[in-house]
Chains A and B, each alone.
Chain A
């Protein structure tokens, strides 16, 4: 077809010929331009648009000023970042030299061998592979298989869940900081009964049980504390164990003290209730902490306290949710990328990131006196992070979390009983695992 196309044009007059020449020349020029830029020192970063990505973006600008390495930033909202990265990794285009990733995505990327093993690069730079200053739970996420395997990423933002509560109300009603889930339920009842006045309802607890990530994230700490496990030693799903059902029944009980409609709540609704002072407790992520002291948004300035998650049969464990930085296997400038990665995760740079609002992953930064003075919740955050648990490390986590979340949401909206919800969830999870084999 193109031959015919050109032949037909060439036969016509000189004007056409000159037009074609111009086209061809400009095409050749544009191709050669692309060639020439890729040989200079530059890096391309895929980051999350939000507080976590913003800190890295600012760090990248500092790095640019210090070293002259040009850094391109490709910024995507959370939901799109995963698809963009997976498409790039899958098609091996090498568009990004560094990618920011949420830790539940890591098993999928690592299992498909999409990421660069960092050990050889670190050895070349003369840097020890296991930096003891990183919180163990955070570094374990960056290895495939979990905790024991090769290192494919470094942890950048050290989020883990915290238990939020209204210390003013706890003091007023002579309640102790909740150590167990039973304490939580009793406190929720007391506060809701005594603080509600007519139309101004005060809810004892607020949780989010929208299908998907939200419901699962709020359920896991209860599920684990009640002694339940998602999988047994052979990898079979066990969410409908007696412990699991007891945990969900407890969640539904606690739901009676949560605002109506919580079965469709996401993080925003939970945040709004806490900021408006219409709910007394919740599980939440550290990113919300600063907003409580913002006079423009918060009616509860100085009234919130933060602690580790309550216990039941077992001690309380938070879900970990770290942001990692990795180098795709097809990255064009792996050598320059590891330099930037090491620089961005030094204690010094991580402190700057912490000042920009991101919890660190280094113990020395968590215990930095200046930061502790500024962020009084840091000791609790570090304790929570050190004892936290990851979501199950499986490449099919997205699908499993989706199915599990649907049934948790159904139970919380009253559509299914706790037993039915977990039996059906277990069957769906089993199907997903079978498909993966």
Chain B
């Protein structure tokens, strides 16, 4: 008994406290070396500009962002991509979750089948869609041709107008299942009582959905949207495989541009500066709509 007590209180003697630190040391060491140190190091890198005499301290990398057309255009693509994909994935995911929350025949099969895209590695998805979208040999144009459509102008990833749409569609295809899964879990966690009460009060189906389901589903919606937003803003792999940012610059997102700056041009300072801007934007957006959803819940 006395032994147990010794461990339960925070620190009863100096040697115990030392032992506690000792046990914590590996975790702290890992955190420091793998997260904190690289973060600080990359900040110092972003604040240095290469010059013939070596590195020198400067805000040059951050100033350059504002006059860099490629950066601004990549940011624009990232936001269009994230917004379109997020809205579609949420709508489709919610519809599917509501549909498969009912007792319908073959529900298990549908649920399992819907999750397949999400389990594929992004690189595989990229390669498969790249082949399907190929204007000359691809399955999509081949099928359309079979139905008698003229596919000459449908060059998908090669057309500046269609390329961004194509990569967004691929993202929706792959990640709607994730939104669906989270929302379905949310739906199943809602107890039956509020529905029974609503029924007794004579509310319509729409009213039940609007005033019972949605408010109770809010935490799940919040998590799904938050995770998808963070993922969408840093999208890299599918686009890299599908278009490598092209044609021209039409599908270049910020992550691709950061990669290029770092590993093709070896300008780590500039790449780090862009990464910090992306980090800041992601944080702000996340906080903003967590607040937004919280206040709506409170009202």
Contact = CB atoms under 8 A, between A and B. Distances in A.
A8 B19 contact: yes
Contacts of B243: 264
Contact of B247 (A5, A211, A278, A402): A211
A42 B244 CA distance: 39
Contacts of B21: 4
B244 A212 contact: yes
A290 to B, nearest CB: 23
Contact of A211 (B152, B153, B159, B245): B245
Contacts of A273: 136
Interface in A394-430: 396, 398-399, 402-403, 406-407, 409-410, 412-416, 428
A261 interface: yes
A18 to B, nearest CB: 19
A211 B249 contact: yes
A210 interface: yes
A30 to B, nearest CB: 20
Contact of B135 (A260, A398, A407, A410): A260
Interface string B216-252: 0000000000000000000000000001111111100
Nearest to A424: B69
A402 B69 CA distance: 14
Chain B interface size, under 10 / 10 to 19 / 20 to 34 / 35 or more = 35 or more
A415 B264 CA distance: 25
A157 B50 CA distance: 34
A262 interface: yes
Interface in A250-269: 259-265
Interface string A156-188: 000000000000000000000000000000000
A212 B240 CA distance: 13
Chief secondary structure at chain A's binding surface: helix
Nearest to A432: B265
B18 A4 contact: yes
A191 to B, nearest CB: 18
B155 interface: yes
Contacts, number: 96
Contacts of B284: none
B6 to A, nearest CB: 16
A83 interface: yes
Which of the listed residues B136, B155, B157, B248 has the most CB atoms from chain A within 10 Å of its own CB? B248
B137 A264 contact: no
B248 A407 contact: yes
B158 A264 contact: yes
Given A398-B265, A399-B265, A1 B247 contact: no
A5 B25 contact: yes
Contact of A261 (B69, B70, B159): B159
A406 B163 CA distance: 15
A86 interface: yes
B291 interface: no
B248 A263 contact: yes
Chain A interface size, under 10 / 10 to 19 / 20 to 34 / 35 or more = 35 or more
A90 B50 CA distance: 13
A272 interface: yes
B160 interface: yes
Interface string B150-178: 00110111111001000000000000000
Interface string B56-81: 00000000100001100000000000
Contacts of A82: 264
A210 B264 contact: no
Given A260-B152, A260-B158, A413 B248 contact: yes
Contact of A402 (B137, B158, B265): B265
A253 to B, nearest CB: 18
Nearest to B155: A261
A260 B155 contact: yes
A199 B150 CA distance: 10
A263 B158 contact: yes
22 contacts: A8-B18, A90-B266, A211-B245, A211-B246, A212-B246, A260-B152, A260-B155, A261-B136, A263-B158, A264-B155, A264-B243, A272-B137, A278-B136, A399-B264, A403-B70, A413-B160, A413-B247, A413-B248, A413-B250, A415-B247, A415-B250, A428-B69
Query: 3 tightest A-B contacts by CB?
Result: A261-B158, A410-B248, A264-B158
Interface of B: 18-19, 21-22, 25, 64, 69-70, 135-137, 145, 152-153, 155-160, 163, 243-250, 260, 263-267
Interface of A: 1, 4-5, 8, 82-83, 86, 90, 199, 209-212, 259-265, 272-273, 278, 396, 398-399, 402-403, 406-407, 409-410, 412-416, 428, 435
